[in-house]
């Protein structure tokens, strides 16, 4: 008994040291962001700030146009998440519950599209977006992204567990096919939908390569794009850069700590892919 | 009977309203671009004239002669070889340890998961600062314990390992969660039976945990290799510009991005994309086949 107790304490110490390594960079980020310009470049660095200053935040706020970037990112991530959830639930439901000709081959097509890496599609998709006159607008980001193969696959699995009798009962009551989906199937799948929503929102909030390619007008930039270009231009101005990084990390962490369990479940869902 | 026929018609109409737009979207934004990309990769097409001639495999041949492409290919594999085993090994270790951490289980899970949530760009900027040679945290720690300072991202030898260290910190929590979900699925009675037979902790891990975790590990390994061969964000932010000292962190996707979107060599860029696609496909299929054979009892 004593041995297991010792083992457990050893385990906690090892994991505790590891967690410190995970959290230390974040501490350093916040710490640097509230240090003055001269304290940032002091050797050796101080582990507690001598004087707190918000000047880095003010600078980042002005030069990076943070309110604009935050608004753009929030708009895009929310719109994309809503669209992807709706399309995934609809298509997933149809694949799971409606028998239509060609269902299997079409579903296999959707599945196999997950294998195509984005960098293969990226160049011609960009040329297509230019041709459609969607470059430098959110259309070029939103429209090609409405359908998510992973979301469709996941929702098909979820909708497949809904008992057929329930749907038939609604049919006999005279409900239309869409209202059966909307009033019966959807309410029965709220928690997987929430999990998919979180996963999608995270992905969209951090999405970088495609917005970097499509958007060139500064007033459309999202947070990652704005921060990356600010990083290119002011490579050594760590104060405002880290203030910017702090601001972009905080909303997601707040979301995370308020819905932790759902987050963890949504990640575990990814393991269902194979 | 009429009722069912009418309902069936309604169902088909509903299905069509959903499936047809989806098919249109896949055709327009996926199938057609891939086909078009392939034809561009076989031509000398350019955006401004929107015309080009068929040149056969010239763009593909060029990739094999291009020394920078070869470097980027080597770098990408180097990244994969460093990051995939490190990430997998560490995640198995952490997953098993956290699973056994009793009342602090969910706390540790959350702490290790935190970096996963944050944007690659924000944390990339942060790690560039940690690696900063004069004022950065890492060199300050080295100095404090009287070790020589290192060049990190500025050193040709250390640049890629530094990026890998960052990527491991960033991504490990995700793999840990997936492995812990796999561990949850292992029936407790196996362990009890083995303990009755006198198995020690190592036996339990080696003969029960690892084999029963096989599907999860296959998933992590295969997606890990795919992801690592497509790495872009971290190298873009941490070693800005041409791809680090002596191109040491220029990966395949970074090279493709620069060729197509910065030098406007579309045909060559798409050829690189298809080469990387072929490599990823071949490696994925090889892994799936190998893992299946290896584990059959």
Contact B128, B120 (CB under 8 A): no
- Both structure tokens of A259: 């819905």
pTM of the predicted model, to two decimals? Answer: 0.85
What is the reported pLDDT for A106? 94
- Both structure tokens of B113: 């998961």
Q: Is the ipTM of this complex over 0.95?
A: no
What is the reported pLDDT for A269? 66
Give the 3-state secondary structure of chain A: CHHHHHHHHHHHHHHHHHHHHHHHHHHHHHHHHCCCHHHHCCCCCCCCCCCCCCHHHHHHHHHCCHHHHHHHHHHHHHHHHHHHHHHHHHHHHHHHHCCCCCHHHHHHHHHHHCCCCHHHHHHHHHHHHHHCCCCCCCHHHHHHHCCCHHHHHHHHHHHCCCCHHHHHHHHHCCCCHHHHHHHHHHHHCHHHHHHHHHHHHHHHHHCCHHHHHHCCCHHHCCHHHHHHHHHHHCCCCHHHHHHHHHHHHHHHHHHHHHCHHHHHHHHHHHHHHC
Say yes or no to pLDDT of A9 above 50.
yes
**Is the omega angle on the peptide bond into residue A44 within 30 degrees of 0, that is, cis?**
yes
Chain A contact for B226, CB < 8 A? yes
What is the reported pLDDT for B76? 94
Contact A86, A236 (CB under 8 A): no
CA dihedral B173, B103, B180, B294 (to 10 degrees): 120
What CA–CA distance (Å, rounded) separates A272 from B219? 9
> Which residue is it, tokens 């579903």?
A107
Reported as a pLDDT band with limits 50, 70 and 90, residue A48 is: confident
Average pLDDT, chain B: 88
Give the 3-state secondary structure of B152-194: HHHCCCCHHHHHHHHHHHHHHHHHHHHHHHHHHCCCHHHHHHH
> Which residue is it, tokens 């000047």?
A55
What is the reported pLDDT for B98? 93
Angle between helices B2-26 and A103-113 (to 10 degrees): 30
Model confidence over A84-103: pLDDT tens digits? 999 999 999 999 999 999 99
Chain A interface test: which of B118, B226, B278 (most A C-beta within 10 Å): B118
Q: Which residues pair with B43 in a beta bridge?
A: B54
Model confidence over A34-46: pLDDT tens digits? 998 888 888 788 8
Name the phi and psi angles at B185, rounded to 5. -80, -5
Chain B interface test: which of A56, A120, A150, A214 (most B C-beta within 10 Å): A120
**Which CATH architecture does the domain made up of A57-273 adopt?**
Orthogonal Bundle (1.10)
- Contact: A271, B122; criterion CB under 8 Å: no
> Which residue is it, tokens 């270790």?
B93
Contact A112, A51 (CB under 8 A): no
Which of B23, B29, B237 has its CB closest to that of A144?
B29
Chain B contact for A138, CB < 8 A? no
User: Which residue does chain A place closest to B169, by CA atoms?
Assistant: A22
What CA–CA distance (Å, rounded) separates B235 from B120? 10
Chain A contact for B200, CB < 8 A? no
- Contact: A19, B112; criterion CB under 8 Å: yes
Count CB neighbours of B221 within 10 A.
17
Q: Which residues pair with B46 in a beta bridge?
A: B51
Chain B contact for A169, CB < 8 A? no
- Contact: A98, B218; criterion CB under 8 Å: no
Chain B contact for A15, CB < 8 A? yes
Model confidence over A109-149: pLDDT tens digits? 998 888 888 888 888 899 899 889 998 899 999 999 999 99
What is the reported pLDDT for B219? 83
Contact B219, B269 (CB under 8 A): no
List of chain A residues whose C-beta atoms are within 8 Å of the C-beta of residue B134: 41, 43
What CA–CA distance (Å, rounded) separates B49 from B268? 17
The residue among A89 and B120 whose pLDDT is bigger is A89
Reported as a pLDDT band with limits 50, 70 and 90, residue B295 is: low
A38 min Cα distance to partner chain B (Å): 11
Residues 62-81 of A with CB under 8 A from B: none
B178 min Cα distance to partner chain A (Å): 5
List of chain B residues whose C-beta atoms are within 8 Å of the C-beta of residue A123: 37, 40, 260, 266, 269-270, 273
Count CB neighbours of B290 within 10 A.
10
What CA–CA distance (Å, rounded) separates A183 from A169? 12
Which of A21, A227, A263 has its CB closest to that of B121?
A227
Say yes or no to pLDDT of B296 above 70.
no
Chain B interface test: which of A112, A127, A202, A252 (most B C-beta within 10 Å): A127
- Contact: B15, A94; criterion CB under 8 Å: yes
Residue A96 C-alpha from the chain's centroid: 26
Chain A interface test: which of B126, B184, B265 (most A C-beta within 10 Å): B126
Model confidence over B65-114: pLDDT tens digits? 999 999 999 999 999 999 999 999 999 999 999 988 888 888 898 899 98
Contact A161, A41 (CB under 8 A): no
Q: Which residues pair with B51 in a beta bridge?
A: B46
Q: B118: which DSSP letter?
A: S
Residues 101-120 of A with CB under 8 A from B: 106, 109-110, 113, 115-120
Model confidence over B11-62: pLDDT tens digits? 999 999 999 999 999 999 999 999 999 999 999 887 777 777 888 899 999 9
- Contact: A11, B100; criterion CB under 8 Å: yes
* Domain parsing of chain A, residue ranges: 57-273
Say yes or no to pLDDT of B294 above 60.
no
Residue A271 C-alpha from the chain's centroid: 17
The residue among B4 and B93 whose pLDDT is bigger is B93
Contact B215, B179 (CB under 8 A): no
Angle between helices B159-184 and B120-130 (to 10 degrees): 130
């Amino acid at each position: 008994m004593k041995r297991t107790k010792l083992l457990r304490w050893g385990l906690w110490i090892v994991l505790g040291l590891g967690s410190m390594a995970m959290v230390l960079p974040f501490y350093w980020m916040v710490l640097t962001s509230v240090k003055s310009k001269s304290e940032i470049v002091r050797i050796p660095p101080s582990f507690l700030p001598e004087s707190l200053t918000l000047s880095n935040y003010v600078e980042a706020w002005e030069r990076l146009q943070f309110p604009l970037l935050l608004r753009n990112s929030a708009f895009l991530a929310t719109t994309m998440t809503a669209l992807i959830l709706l399309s995934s639930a609809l298509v997933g439901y149809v694949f799971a519950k409606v028998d239509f000709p060609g269902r299997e081959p079409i579903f296999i097509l959707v599945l196999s599209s997950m294998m195509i890496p984005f960098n293969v599609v990226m160049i011609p998709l960009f040329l297509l977006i230019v041709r459609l006159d969607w470059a430098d607008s959110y259309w070029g980001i939103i429209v090609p992204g409405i359908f998510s193969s992973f979301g469709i696959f996941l929702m098909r699995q979820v909708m497949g567990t809904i008992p057929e009798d329930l749907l038939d009962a609604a049919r006999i009551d005279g409900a239309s096919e869409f209202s059966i989906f909307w009033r019966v199937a959807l309410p029965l799948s709220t928690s997987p939908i929430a999990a998919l929503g979180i996963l999608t929102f995270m992905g969209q909030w951090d999405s970088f390569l495609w917005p970097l390619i499509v958007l060139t007008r500064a007033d459309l930039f999202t947070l990652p794009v704005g921060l990356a270009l600010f990083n290119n231009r002011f490579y050594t101005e760590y104060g405002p850069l880290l203030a910017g990084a702090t601001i972009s990390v905080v909303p997601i962490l707040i979301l995370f700590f308020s819905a932790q369990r759902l987050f963890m479940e949504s990640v575990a869902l990814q393991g269902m892919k194979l | 009977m009429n009722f069912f026929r009418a309902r069936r018609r309604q169902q088909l109409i509903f299905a069509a309203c959903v499936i047809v737009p989806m098919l249109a979207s896949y055709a327009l934004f996926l199938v057609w671009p891939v086909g078009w990309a392939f034809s561009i990769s076989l031509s000398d097409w350019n955006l401004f004239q929107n015309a080009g001639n068929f040149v056969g495999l010239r763009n593909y041949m060029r990739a094999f002669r291009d020394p920078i492409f070869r470097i980027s290919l080597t770098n990408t594999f180097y990244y994969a070889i460093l990051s995939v085993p490190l990430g997998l090994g560490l995640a198995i270790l952490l997953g098993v340890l956290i699973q056994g951490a009793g009342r602090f289980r969910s706390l540790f899970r959350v702490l290790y998961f935190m970096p996963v949530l944050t944007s690659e760009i924000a944390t990339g900027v942060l790690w560039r600062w940690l690696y900063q040679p004069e004022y950065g945290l890492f060199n300050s720690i080295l100095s404090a314990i009287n070790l020589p300072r290192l060049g990190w991202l500025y050193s040709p030898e250390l640049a890629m390992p530094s990026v890998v260290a960052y990527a491991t910190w960033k991504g490990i929590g995700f793999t840990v969660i997936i492995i812990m979900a796999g561990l949850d699925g292992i029936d407790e009675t196996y362990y009890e039976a083995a303990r009755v037979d006198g198995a020690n902790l190592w036996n339990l891990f080696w003969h029960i945990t690892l084999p029963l975790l096989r599907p999860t590990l296959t998933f992590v390994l295969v997606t890990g290799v795919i992801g690592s061969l497509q790495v872009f964000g971290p190298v873009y932010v941490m070693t800005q510009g041409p791809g680090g000292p002596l191109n040491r962190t220029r990966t395949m996707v970074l090279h493709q991005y620069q060729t197509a979107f910065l030098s406007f060599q579309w045909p060559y860029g798409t050829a690189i994309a298809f080469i990387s696609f072929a490599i990823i496909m071949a490696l994925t299929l090889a892994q799936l086949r190998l893992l299946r054979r290896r584990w059959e009892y």
